[in-house]
Structure 1
């Protein structure tokens, strides 16, 4: 259109947005938010430029920018506006920043978009370590102000008005509105006086509607383990973990391990229904507890409740995965261990018995019959498929999952370690609760133990220990304590390389005593009745040997399949899971749980499966990444591998029966094996283990 004679010509200005360098040519009076949209720059806003959310804050950059050939001056942007003066949103306007929806262009300008104002933010979360990822949630909030209807007005239906407003204000094209949302629209519009906030999933589906302005949306990430269930409440727009919770998996009453639960289903018609009902009830209760925990600490304009939850992600082993979905798990209890589906599954949360009416639940893909969505989550969090160096990732639990490889080739397997690491099958074993022994040290000369228990901050030889444990019942040893006491007994020369509690022990300390045809070690207590004390028995040692040999055999099998049997080729070893997070890397090596890499390369990474669930919750790209990555993982079935049994036998010794441990020999003093009388067919054990 030609300018009207006498009107001043419209001036156009060039605006460059840092750090991206994207630019746009816009007319005078254009807001910085609109200029950013024109340029395609990454500037956040949930209120549609109405000065409510405070997410579009920018920093005008002053100076001469030869890179972009712009002299950016203070008068290239309008002064402080009434919108900014009256702003009372949850995010205060930071000194030196302006609201992009209020400040207008009146000259060539360079504008910095700070990280907090970017839609795809790089942030670090708390509670679970998910690293730095790009926030790209599948559900976003949009604030709309609809035209007030009058009698005789030719407005379309409310759903159509919402679609038109989303297109006009946010360039969002709606293809559907969830059927459970349609009945709620009219009340929301009336309650908000024609102002509403809608949640859009996948960029084109309306999945929730609220009256007025809502500033925050939330999601829940859950890791369903065979023993514990861990959940995290997350702000979808920032990735911040706002609350975390953990409960015992109620399915334990049907069996301690997965196979015993499958057996329960096999022997009890309809048993799968009971398993499903119990875990779904626990998930629903966990969501409620997370919301309660966050209610007093999370700052929101609208009270946080179950309608605030808009997305969920769930990880778990294959049996948990199937049980949650209401799928019979018995095919996973027998060869060929066939999954009903190994793809990611998306359902409504209410279909899983979880009272979150607006939420969708996404279950990460499984890998194989014994390698599930929890392993997929761990892979996503730790990234072996993104690494140039070889990474060994081990989730230590009742059924250990093992991943080995790098960006060229990733292999995965499970190994039946059993529940010994978690305290089952151990005479004084117990779960990690207050009073459980969690750390142990044995003096190399006196063979007297020191220990730490959950619920106390000091070691047992500290003067404060008695006071701190006065109300605690020191009644057993939890998983990390079991690993350490076994390692310490071996390093102190009380257990031989073949796992035998040495017969010369009673000559060295009265803590070693005859227990039938074998020997035991009194760790805690001074009762004359041995059964009243906390002891480590020969059967306990054997149980740990069997568990660790199964784990190590699985690791060695993957290394053989990958063609990398030299520990020096491994770039890092990562111990994951609630139990793995508490294992001291040195003792993992002493027992031979992992290959003989330098101890500095062994680390505990915590709940990697849960971290992967959080990543998938806040990023569509992360979901696409793991769905692609798991299809490239080579699955190794340990149950059908002929080499597994030989590797298992070789791994029974401490640290290992056949493999040398030169790195370990430089990291601690290894004991001298007990000399035994030579006999036919027997080989005499001699000398200190040396580097080779």
Structure 2
């Protein structure tokens, strides 16, 4: 006799609002087995495996579970719940055996491993709901703020192990926090799906990332498949399958594939643009018929510690700025309403946009009066006792960031013979895209000047894509198809990109006609002539 979980629950709270049937990475079955007898003297493991195979097909049994099965079967009077997980497409293995009926206690993790922040969602795999969320800074930050520093460290003696341990410690801390809050044992968590960029996947799995940043930019693996949690050191069921969403190349990773999956743009007939500005500016363009993608260094200028007064998005960070064009008076807000201690990425973008519209900087991003910095908060008002400023160097770095995104987008459009006006949907992904003010991003040219109703914030699309894969094997197959179908443009050695990049460092763009709403504002304020392009 067996009682299996209902896998026809409809998930309706995904970003794309698509309805999917739950078919998770691991499954649980309640079994009532016949006791051994002289007439039925099968081995304990064989008896259990045969019962599972009637429901699912062939299943393998790991040695460590073979050791436990005889005792669990007898202690539970032959009434047990088994958990099985996928170890390869269509291949299942036993993950756990528990006494009694625990079918409804079925938990997994959807994980977004970011360069700066790690987010873990505890998911009820019986109904697809998110039970809890925990987030924290990636422990690797203490070893290197940026990707290149970490790649270099990974090549030093013991460096790779140090970096892997740092991210695993972060994950285990977040997992322990969630398990404690919801009264779970770590062993009850039976599956993990993770979205991460290519370098983060390598460091998470303990793989050498050194060739990612050297021509011809070749990763160790793009689709590592299913890996038992115990091999990685995650403090969950050691046989739980861990699945990292597939990457496309060195700089378009599984986090972007997860985002595309969550957005649903790959199923739509209309042309869509997906942009995730983090450590890299990753861009995917296409529809249900084709997909192209590329990535360029973008995020460092927007991350804490790079700007003179930059900081991460935490309490006290200035996250929005406005400047009165007549008086030059600055208004700002901080995260949590705390006294200002620095400026995070969205505040930097706001500030540059306002400096342009107030006529304080020109279209080349230079201060018109030759000053070297702009005071956002005077020392007397700041939490640090020092002026909080945006410097000319900060602006130059931000100009390079937005120039890289401009150039990458232009290259993609030209490569497929499309115009900006052909884009029907624009998806802004990631935490930065969630909190960035659209008008400011458009004003400086970081985002294209499209009708605002076409622009959609996705939030943590990487985490949502991971949840979809955790809950649906069809979605996992879909994610792998997305990765296979993206035509990847490598920009590091692309002369056309470099030429466009050099010519793109104007606000909002070299060609003002690409940004009609921004041009109208500049004309209205007398900062450019009506006929200027």
Does the pair score TM above 0.5?
Answer: yes
Give the C-alpha shift of residue 629 in structure 1: 2.0
Match of 1:608 in 2: 461
Match of 1:260 in 2: 149
Larger RCO (CA within 8 A; separation ≥ 6): 2
Instruction: Find the aligned partners of 1:574 and 1:568 in 2 and give their Cα distance.
Output: 15
For the 8 Å contact 1:365–1:627, the answer to whether it is kept is: yes
Please, which of 357, 362, 365 is the counterpart of residue 491 of structure 1? Answer: 357
Instruction: Find the aligned partners of 1:526 and 1:328 in 2 and give their Cα distance.
Output: 45
Q: How many residues align?
A: 526
Query: In structure 2, do the counterparts of structure 1 residues 537 and 673 end up closer, same or farther at CA, with 3 Å as the change threshold?
Result: farther
Match of 1:199 in 2: 83
Match of 1:269 in 2: 157
Match of 2:20 in 1: 133
Please, which of 485, 493, 508 is the counterpart of residue 632 of structure 1? Answer: 485
Larger radius of gyration, structure 1 or 2?
A: 1
Query: Does structure 1 residue 502 correspond to structure 2 residue 344?
Result: no
Instruction: Find the aligned partners of 2:264 and 2:531 in 1 and give their Cα distance.
Output: 36
Match of 1:455 in 2: 336
Please, which of 168, 181, 185 is the counterpart of residue 305 of structure 1? Answer: 185
Query: Does structure 1 residue 359 correspond to structure 2 residue 240?
Result: yes
Please, which of 349, 352, 362 is the counterpart of residue 229 of structure 2? Answer: 349
Please, which of 280, 301, 325 is the counterpart of residue 205 of structure 2? Answer: 325
Deviates more, 1:625-634 or 1:440-449: 440-449
For the 8 Å contact 2:448–2:515, the answer to whether it is kept is: no
Give the C-alpha shift of residue 615 in structure 1: 0.8
Give the C-alpha shift of residue 595 in structure 1: 2.1
SS at match of 1:181: helix
Give the C-alpha shift of residue 689 in structure 1: 7.1
Superimposed CA distance per residue, residues 613-653 of structure 1 (whole angstroms, 9 cap, x where no aligned partner): 11111110011111122111111011111111221123211
Match of 1:413 in 2: 294
For the 8 Å contact 2:309–2:390, the answer to whether it is kept is: yes
Query: Does structure 1 residue 284 correspond to structure 2 residue 202?
Result: no
Superimposed CA distance per residue, residues 307-356 of structure 1 (whole angstroms, 9 cap, x where no aligned partner): 11111112211111112221111111211111212224211001111122
Instruction: Find the aligned partners of 2:133 and 2:381 in 1 and give their Cα distance.
Output: 45
TM-score by length of 2: 0.92
Match of 2:498 in 1: 645
More helix by share: 2
Query: In structure 2, do the counterparts of structure 1 residues 662 and 323 end up closer, same or farther at CA, with 3 Å as the change threshold?
Result: closer
Superimposed CA distance per residue, residues 458-499 of structure 1 (whole angstroms, 9 cap, x where no aligned partner): xxxxxxxxxxxxxx3421111111111211221222222121
Instruction: Find the aligned partners of 2:141 and 2:174 in 1 and give their Cα distance.
Output: 17
Superimposed CA distance per residue, residues 190-218 of structure 1 (whole angstroms, 9 cap, x where no aligned partner): 33232111112347532211011102211
Match of 2:70 in 1: 186
For the 8 Å contact 1:257–1:418, the answer to whether it is kept is: no
SS at match of 1:640: coil
TM-score by length of 1: 0.72
Instruction: Find the aligned partners of 1:519 and 1:173 in 2 and give their Cα distance.
Output: 70
Query: In structure 2, do the counterparts of structure 1 residues 637 and 172 end up closer, same or farther at CA, with 3 Å as the change threshold?
Result: closer
Query: Does structure 1 residue 443 correspond to structure 2 residue 324?
Result: yes
- In structure 2, stretches of 5+ residues that fail to align are none
Please, which of 419, 425, 428 is the counterpart of residue 309 of structure 2? Answer: 428
Query: Does structure 1 residue 578 correspond to structure 2 residue 444?
Result: no
Match of 1:481 in 2: 347
Query: Does structure 1 residue 123 correspond to structure 2 residue 4?
Result: no
Query: In structure 2, do the counterparts of structure 1 residues 603 and 528 end up closer, same or farther at CA, with 3 Å as the change threshold?
Result: closer
For the 8 Å contact 1:233–1:244, the answer to whether it is kept is: yes
How large is the RMSD of aligned CA atoms in angstroms?
2.5
SS at match of 1:260: helix
Pairs within 5 Å for 1:147-186: 147-149=34-36, 152=38, 154-166=40-52, 171-186=55-70
Give the C-alpha shift of residue 520 in structure 1: 2.7
Match of 1:555 in 2: 409
